[in-house]
Amino acid sequence: MAYGNLCYGCFSEKNHEGACPVCGYEDIKKHSPIIIKPGTALYKDKYIVGRVLGKPGGFGITYIRWDRVLVAIKEFIPGDCAGRDANTLTVMPHSHEDKEAFEYGLKKFLAEARTLARFDHANIVRINGFFEENHTGYIVMDYCDGINLEEYLKRKGGRITEKSAISIMMPILDGLREVHANDFLHRDIKPLNIFITRNKIPVLLDFGAARIAMREKSRSLTVVLTPGFAPYEQYQTHGNQGPWTDVYACGATMYYMISGQVPPDAIDRKNGTSKIGQLMRLVPGVSQKVNDAIMLALSLDPSNRPSTVRDFQKLLASNNESPPRRIIDEDKAPPLRNNRYARNKNHQEIPSAALAQRREKPVPTVENADNTADSTQKIKHIETAVFLSLLFPGIGHFYLELYYMATILVSIALASPSLIYQEGGRFFIISNGGVVLVDFRCNFNPYKPFQ
């Protein structure tokens, strides 16, 4: 069934042939047999297939779909071991030998969907559902309006400043911490899998756990790792993988954002055929702190890396600044320093152990940065509360709550967000873009709930 009055690029109404006046999309007459034709209905006519989002990968294809609102749907179709019957849309293994790998991969694909559906984080793509049809599986996701990080960097001249890079990576790391807390790894973090929405909120896409598991099940399948962003242990049959594996990829992504250069492949570095240049030698103005944090994350030996995302955030965070809530757009980054280290494969890397010795004193964790931005002032208020409690039991606690309530009201005046009160005394301050600025619990409610 086709819906001729709709543009399959943005699903706006279009009552004529040719390019869409809204998004400029123009449907082509012939499509690759592996791609579902735009206008096709899926899941009992619930979803209408639109254009392909990005480039079809070796593991699956993601389409824009329409279900009264725009969504994105990822289809499981590993090109190495399966294809599509153009007449029935059925996905079939190429041979009997491929059947086991395909069925195993499909099982992992749907299991991944069930896991991801539990997450509800602003910086992780939201999974709305999943289903099986055409002998394969589909994951229904929120449609993110914007561009991927690779395209974002191109529009910025190929790279961005240290401050801007941190403003992108910190929220991604916040989301990744939630993923790791549920014993799940991404295993394919790279610029193409980080999306920048129109509201300048970074979102982590395209988890790779299912396809990695499928490759481990069938050694005949093509390796789907991205050179420069995958750590050495991912190339090994029984490599020791954990949160530090994703930390490496995040470090590589930051290296690329700031320098505009993809780090050398981990295999080449291990073999000694390529060396990685210190970031602060490539780019003028990069701080020692951020340089060391990124270079530690890029250690070949997992034991030399920050072992958790929280540890990596501590190394990146400034001692006196709260983490950014939204991407910081700065002017074009300064030109790269022209020196012999930029492309000299023979210079020595600073050993990870030496970098570890240069770590500065611990800084407040990122998750508590908002609550510790002015710790000295807050200590004074706590001391006052303790003094009042000694004179008048119960007054000190009430004093503290009044102080924090005043802090919230000042935040409202400065940021003009909306305040939402929920039962149980929990307050949220949310910006116009939907970003939670304050999450505060209060045991009393002097105001009526309001929106």
The neighbouring-strand residues paired with 426 are: 422, 441
The neighbouring-strand residues paired with 6 are: 13
Supply 101's token pair: 């790998």
pLDDT band at 147, cuts 50/70/90?
very high
The confidence score (pLDDT) of residue 330 equals 67
Question: Quick check: 163 pLDDT over 60?
Answer: yes
Between CA 300 and CA 18 the distance in angstroms is 52
Q: Where are the alpha helices (DSSP H) in 194-278?
A: 209-217, 243-259, 266-271
CA neighbor of 1 nearest in space, from 62, 66, 61: 66
Going along the chain from its start, the domains and CATH numbers come out as 41-142 (3.30.200.20), 146-368 (1.10.510.10), 374-441 (no CATH)
CA neighbor of 411 nearest in space, from 375, 374, 437, 435: 437
Between CA 405 and CA 440 the distance in angstroms is 9
Give the lowest-confidence range in 32-36, 37-41, 310-314, 335-339: 335-339
DSSP secondary structure letters along 177-200: HHHHHTT------SGGGEEEETT-
pLDDT in tens, 221-247: 445 689 999 999 999 878 899 999 999
pLDDT in tens, 75-116: 888 888 889 887 888 999 999 888 988 898 899 889 888 888
Question: What's the burial of 449, exposed, middle or buried (CB within 10 Å: 0-12/13-18/19+)?
Answer: exposed
The confidence score (pLDDT) of residue 260 equals 97
Stronger pLDDT, 284 or 229, i.e. the higher one: 229
Give the lowest-confidence range in 22-31, 300-309, 330-339: 330-339
Cβ proximity of 415 and 429 under 8 Å: yes
pLDDT band at 416, cuts 50/70/90?
very low
pLDDT in tens, 392-413: 555 544 444 544 444 443 333 3
The confidence score (pLDDT) of residue 347 equals 38
**φ/ψ bin of 202: left (φ > 0), alpha (ψ from -120 to 50), beta (otherwise):** beta
Mean of per-residue pLDDT scores for the chain? 73
